[in-house]
Structure 1
Amino acid sequence: MNDFPLPGLFLILFLLILLSAFFSGSETALLTLNRYRLRHQADQGNRGARRARKLLDRPDRLIGLILLGNNFVNIMASSLATVIAIRLGGEAAIGIAAGLLTLVILIFAEVTPKTYATLHPERLAFPAAYVYGPLLKLLYPVVWLVNLFTNNLLRLIGIAPEDGGQGTALSREELRTVVSEAGAMIPERSRSMLLGILDLERATVEDIMIPRNEVDGIDIQDSEEEIIQAIRNTNYTRLPLYDGSIDNVIGVFHARNALHAILEKGLGKEHLRAIARQPYFVPEGTQLYQQLLNFQHTKQRVGLVVDEYGDFLGLITLADLLEEIVGEFTTDPSDSISEIQPAEDGSLLIDCGIGLRELNRVLRWELPTDGPKTLNGLILEYLETIPEPGTSLKLSGHPMEIIQTADNGVKTVRIIPRPTRRPRR
């Protein structure tokens, strides 16, 4: 090397630094690729994506190849810098050359290419995949020998390198994060629906059911006039039919069938029993996702929620369940549910029998839902007593005033809406 021209040595050193930058940047680019986007691009016929995906199937071989090349060129660059330093300034210049080379490699062969690769991984990873494929075949014996030692060391600590990317499957919470942060790639409405589907597994039928004290039903013991009046006043098309007590449900009938019955034969007890369908019972604790599948399988639209003793707890409908996915069918909170009514001063009067999930969805709050299921229950749990009207409190940062109470709980509260950030469902 003593007879080799200095400009040639500097040129070789420059090329070695470029190779080091290529190895460093391509390593970061390949390992930071979005595996799901990569799979999609490969399925769409992108050759670079296909090659990159094939390399990432065995990351131990890929990393072995890259580090083998990177360390080789860095050591060569260090040796060459030493030769140049001796020829320019003798042994005293070796330390200066080592420091300068460290700074140059750090800036131009490490930080800069890796930062670029992190910001734009596909621009570097796909072209690099064309290089690493043939290079891996050429250097396979050396790479295999390196991997032989490293893989055995990994197996000693319980890691199987052959698994490759098998552990990259997204959990439900990770998938929620991906959907939430999709931004403009997924319209907001579609994003909310996707999150609603994911939330079905986190809630049970008790979270959205109509509690038994609010269920509209028809007592078969009532007179025909009372039954007709009850059908006329109800807001529902399907009503439970019970005998004496709501705990004794004997069927569910459609209001349209009741209308036909009135026109044809009147509403006698036997005729009511004949037009009613067998009740469909749902155990408490059933996940909403599972219940959606059950509704689909049984061709039912209304389910009666019962506890472990068979006692009637409430009623769940297919429409209520679908609203958990698509949201309310109207956009004005005061119109979407009857439990929220606007007052003249701009505040909202809320019936405390409303479910917390429904309240969170309509007002975009984040009240806890892992305990009580209604606003009344949450207030009583917080105060640990039945408060007097006029009592003020703050739940999860939301001030409210108790307007009406009864012996068994809180009936109505007043809240003043304030702008809040849209919660992550």
Structure 2
Amino acid sequence: MNTKEIRQLFPILHQEVNGHPLVYLDSAATSQKPVSVIEAIKHYYEWDNANVHRGVHTLGSRATDAYEGAREKVAKFINAKSTEEIIFTRGTTTALNLVATGYARSVCREGDEIVITPMEHHSNLIPWQQAAKATGAILKYIPLQEDGSISLEDVEQTITERTKIVSITYVSNVLGVINPVKEIAAIAHRKGAKMVVDGAQSTPHLKVDVQNLDCDFYALSGHKMCGPTGIGALYGKKALLQEMDPIEFGGEMIDHVDLYESTWKELPWKFEGGTPMIAGAVGLGAAIDFLESIGLDAIDRHEKQLTAYAMERMSTIDDLTIYGPRNDRAGLITFNLGEVHPHDVATVLDADGIAIRAGHHCCQPLMRWLKASSTARASFYLYNTEEDVDRLVASLIKTKEYFGHAIG
């Protein structure tokens, strides 16, 4: 299936914004949804809407089958050993908080270390700050190289025998860096630490194999991979999840309840208190079906080619600064245009029907490392084309001319 055919499957792309055909270049924030995902959610609400794991009636059975079927799809998609290792969450943020609260606070003691990097999204930084404060652990950072990447030598030096947890993004949402998480996991394990991976930006674009990576936990969001908002998953090695206590309590996650004591269900349900995001899980399952019909390898190739083309075209614009490595990067480009504020850049582009992101991208420490208060970001996905890049470049040149007094 070529890109033109893929685009036909996304209804939202066939509209005009401010009198121009929409060019959507903000998939790192949230991806658009194909018809198959929208229809799957619609079908659930029209035909199968019921609570799961409870009613013995037909609708309840169908809803449960759809919900647990989606779990099976997630497990297969990232190559987990079993569905017991897949916990449905609201998204990556909730998944990382579950690990930081449910696991880290039980294993970390005063003087222990939690290691992350300065490129982390706030959702993979603040939970570890709080875990460190709660336990007396020390939060340490692997330093960044000049281009924003990290070196394995620095990883070796930063992780010590006192390190209990290493948590790193697979793909940076600002720099486009693809981190060597498999090699980092090996170093962490050799020194007795557990490896947590923020997979928000990697799962939609790269073929993920959690067993091959040998990570201990892996978090993902559905809305960045053609699925609905409000649904994601945490993968955890079974032995570690069995050790963890739940952090949400109530219906659905219990086995036996007495007046003063309660026991929990087995995995994965002990972590899914209350009525779950059933329609979201159905939509996530449909999104996985869609991505697999295209092929993650094909998506990766398309994005690499498109990003290389965009890097070449955008590098011709005077006074445009691109952040992150020049090569071997994910499908996004973060930049600044002279002294023009990124919000002004995004506003002019929006007037031309082009949607990009502007701001600190939930990475304020990284912005300070870049010596920038904020940046603009164009991010690409399987439905973007070279024509989209050409429109972006033309509009940036127009913006440069409009704000000429602020450049140079």
More helix by share: 1
- TM-score bin, normalised by smaller chain: under 0.3
TM-score of the superposed pair, with normalisation by structure 2: 0.20
Query: Greater relative contact order (Cα 8 A, min sep 6): structure 1 or 2?
Result: 2
Q: Which of 1 and 2 has greater Rg?
A: 1
TM-score of the superposed pair, with normalisation by structure 1: 0.19
